[in-house]
Amino acid sequence: MSNPLMQILRHGESRGNIGINERNPGLTDKGKEQASKVSGFASLVITSNLRRAKETLSNSNIKYNNLIETDLCREIKQGHVNDYMENEEIVNETNKDLTDRINKLCEFLCEESKKHDTILIISHGIFINCFLNLNKNGLQTIYNCQCLNFNLVHRAQIKN
């Protein structure tokens, strides 16, 4: 599979999106409804390990053959309590940390693209913008449960 369809989906509306400050928030009822309207098929789904991304998949009508849950596509750690797991230390990521993580995700996607013809990533708004921008897809506004196609560049570049 040399050139699979690659898509990235932002999670549905979370409790954090409506101003509730708690660690690793789940989806609101509206977020669950948004997710229920998402359908399609992916040979591989890669989801962030944060609850709102996993709940988006479980409430969707997406069919898939393989599922990988990873912190490679989780939200950027910028000190906001919503972006941290229950027992995780609140420490900000540096630009270098973020770029390294995006590069690891790109390398992982390059390997997986040899085995799958459709890959869907379920992730988070700020991370998606950084990922797309560093992969030369440009900055885009992405709304809850919006899905975008993207092209993969093997190595991201950012100035520290």
pLDDT band at 117 (very low <50, low <70, confident <90, very high): very high
Mean residue pLDDT of the chain comes to: 91
pLDDT at 157 over 60: no
Task: Using only the alpha carbons of the chain, give its radius of gyration.
Answer: 15
- Angle between helix 125-134 and helix 95-112 axes, rounded to 10 deg: 70
Mean pLDDT for the stretch of residues 119-134: 92
Confidence at residue 158, expressed as pLDDT on a 0 to 100 scale: 42
Percentage of the chain exceeding pLDDT 70: 91
- Region 5-149: CATH code: 3.40.50.1240
Alpha-carbon distances, residue 56 vs 12, 35, 60, 79, 102 (angstroms): 6, 5, 6, 23, 22
Alpha-carbon distances, residue 113 vs 12, 43, 158 (angstroms): 26, 10, 24
The Cα angle at residue 128 between residues 3 and 7, in degrees rounded to 5: 30
Please write the tens of the pLDDT for every residue from 47-99.
999 999 999 999 999 999 999 999 999 999 999 999 999 999 999 999 999 99
- Torsion sign across C-alpha atoms 33, 34, 38, 42: negative
pLDDT at 39 over 90: yes
pLDDT at 155 over 50: no
Name the β-bridge partners of 38.
none
- What are the residues whose beta carbons fall under 8 Å from the beta carbon of 139, sequence distance 6 or more? 129, 132, 133
